[in-house]
Amino acid sequence: MSNITVAIPKGRLGEQSIELFKSIGVGKKINTKSRKLIFKDEKNNIIFILLKNSDVITYVENGVADIGIAGRDMIMEKEADIYQLHNLNLGKCKMSIAGIKGQEVFKKDMILRVATKFPKISKNYFGKKGQKIKLIKLNGSIELAPLVGLSDVIVDLVETGNTLKANGLEILEDMYKINAQIISNKISYKFKRKRIKEIIGKIKEIEEEKYD
Ligand code: PRP
């Protein structure tokens, strides 16, 4: 039986993904409290690697990982050449344009300053709407940008809305629904299809039990 390598994002989504794998009986030894980045499930021939959220797609696209868990936000932003195999009921949130109350989002003769971790998505979205923008790429604490006058609006993920609220910002327009997906390297899917489908099949069974 060939090995399958699974890329798991660190953080909240990662914890939930690991729970999901454990519930189908694999990756039992994964311990996110240790500093280890590779966990081998020798019994099931699965190797789990723990990565930064935004790197999962890179590892899967390059075939170092056969499959991985990634948010639709990252999949859209990276425009990677991978397969999206299965929608998970995890990592649910939305991507929205937010700013200080009353901020105009679309105005023909204005160049809107947009702060975001998602420059490609923002460029495409505003481009389609014919709104000129100046992109300000940030890596975190995006909500700060309009407060200190670095940008007019932000494009960011909203889950509970607490971060916006705590900073006196509000949603000006919702853009996309976001959730996590199981993604696959294209060549892996060709040569390891049976095993990949088996894993996804088991995940689907568990999901049916949980949500039906
Ligand atoms: C994400 C996102 C928002 C926040 C939204 O940030 O960028 O800031 O979560 O969640 P909420 O609507 O439930 O408040 P993250 O926690 O990943 O940190 P970051 O600022 O470093 O991106």
At residue 108, what is the residue type?
K
Q: How far apart are CA 100 and CA 39, in angstroms?
A: 45
At residue 198, what is the residue type?
E
Q: How far apart are CA 128 and CA 13, in angstroms?
A: 30
Q: Which of 97, 155, 158, 178 to mutate to test the pocket of ligand 1 (most atoms within 8 A of CB)?
A: 158
| Kind of pairing between the strands at 67-71 and 4-9 | parallel
- Mean pLDDT for all residues in the chain: 96
Question: Domains in the chain, start-ordered, CATH in brackets?
Answer: 4-91+179-211 (3.40.190.10), 93-178 (3.40.190.10)
Ligand 1 pocket (Cβ < 6 Å) reads 140-143, 156-163
- pLDDT of res. 108: 84
pLDDT digits (tens, 9 = 90+) for 37-57: 999 999 999 999 999 998 999
- pLDDT of res. 212: 62
Euclidean distance between the first and the last CA atom of the chain, given in angstroms as a whole number: 33
Tell me the average pLDDT across 127-134. 97
Centre of ligand 1 from the C-alpha of residue 159, in Å: 8
Centre of ligand 1 from the C-alpha of residue 157, in Å: 6
139 sits in the region (left: phi over 0; alpha: psi -120 to 50; else beta) called alpha
Q: How far apart are CA 60 and CA 81, in angstroms?
A: 9
Nearest atom in ligand 1 to the alpha carbon of residue 141 is 20
